[in-house]
Amino acid sequence: MAVVGEPVAEAVQVLAAELLDRYGPHVIAILMYGSCLRTGDPYEGLVDLYVLVDDYGSVYERRWLALANRLLPPNVFYLESEHRGRKVRSKYAVVTLDGFQRGIRRGFHSYFWGRFSQPCRLIYSRDPAVTDAVLRSLIGAAERVVRETVPVLPPCFDIPTLWRTGLALSYRSELRAEKAEVRAGELHRWATAFYERLTPPLLTRLPYPVKPIPTGFCLEIPPSMRLLARWKWHLRQVQGKLLSLLRLIKALFTFQGGVDYIVWKLERHTGRTIEVPPQAYQHPLIYGWGVLWRLYRRGAFR
């Protein structure tokens, strides 16, 4: 997991410094992941950051924000800053370290462990103990994807098939504008070397006999376990669509320009122009449903 410690752009460090100033000693760690990490351009799109904190009650002045974060983590906010005459924008999520660990270790849905099975960067850590806890969680996220994916694969498979399948299943378990298989393929191509190094030791932790072959690996998995795994992914897809919708609604209140952000993201991924009536900006919970339904019917997200 040495990739976690690789440097990030100076513009991203400026964002991290502002977050540390905003939340002070309650910040435990800051992680970067997502499209700007993959492209290496922090000025294109929104920099995706995760801010791990010690306690919601200490972070927020408004109690309802702390409650919303506990009930449906994470809370998502917007941050922008100037860096060398250019504007850098960020979408950052807030979650406690305990909530982060719990979502990866015990969470049924893949929201946390699907995201953080991908390469990311640890921009800030309070101390070595926190660094160790975060690294263990990141390895745990990758291990969860492997454990939940191999039962739906053929008995013999290679590493690209494992990760393209696992990432696609995770993407399909949320409301997404992009096609799951396309995005999973892009992620794997970007991180091929990362997954080649990470996967073999993770496979040895599985409770199934593993046999290396020249083209990959073969696993002996009981048919009952394969059937259960397929049902679990089916349930995750149903659950994930509902959770994604609830998080979108919450973001309308926590995310500055939330409606504009959702429209921008859908337009970016679909190449379509999306028109939103003025009343949807003023009263999104009342008029936003019709807009969301029309976008869904048009295939703007799945």
Model confidence pLDDT, tens digit, residues 147-202? 999 999 999 999 999 999 999 999 999 977 678 899 999 999 999 999 999 999 99
Tell how far CA 260 is from the center of its chain.
21
Q: Is the pLDDT of residue 257 over 80?
A: no
Model confidence pLDDT, tens digit, residues 97-129? 999 999 999 999 999 999 999 999 999 999 999
* CATH superfamily of the 2-249 domain: Beta Polymerase, domain 2 (3.30.460.10)
Strand-pairing partners, residue 216, are 213
Grouping H, G, I as helix, E, B as strand and the rest as coil, residue 140 is helix
Tell how far CA 21 is from the center of its chain.
24
CB contact at 8 A, 209 and 220: yes
Rounded to 5°, angle at Cα 70 from 68 and 74 = 75
Q: What is the pLDDT at residue 80?
A: 86
pLDDT band at 78 (very low <50, low <70, confident <90, very high): confident
Q: What is the pLDDT at residue 131?
A: 96
The domain spans of the chain are 2-249, 257-297
Model confidence pLDDT, tens digit, residues 122-148? 999 999 999 999 999 999 999 999 999
> ω before 74 within 30° of 0 (cis)?
yes
Sign of CA dihedral 82, 83, 87, 90: negative
Amino acid at 34: G
- How large is the angle between the packed helices 159-172 and 192-203, nearest 10 degrees? 100
Q: What is the pLDDT at residue 89?
A: 87
DSSP 63-123: HHHHHHHHHSPPEEEEEEEEETTEEEEEEEEEEEHHHHHHHHHT-SSSHHHHHTTS--EEE
Q: What's the predicted TM-score (pTM) here?
A: 0.86
Report how far residue 149's alpha carbon sits from residue 141's, in angstroms, rounded to the nearest whole number.
12
Q: What is the pLDDT at residue 2?
A: 60
The set of residues, in sequence order, having a beta carbon less than 8 Å from that of 132 and lying 6+ positions away, is none
CB contact at 8 A, 265 and 201: no
Q: What is the pLDDT at residue 236?
A: 97
Q: What is the pLDDT at residue 296?
A: 58
Report how far residue 140's alpha carbon sits from residue 101's, in angstroms, rounded to the nearest whole number.
9
Amino acid at 294: R
pLDDT band at 295 (very low <50, low <70, confident <90, very high): low
Tell how far CA 52 is from the center of its chain.
14
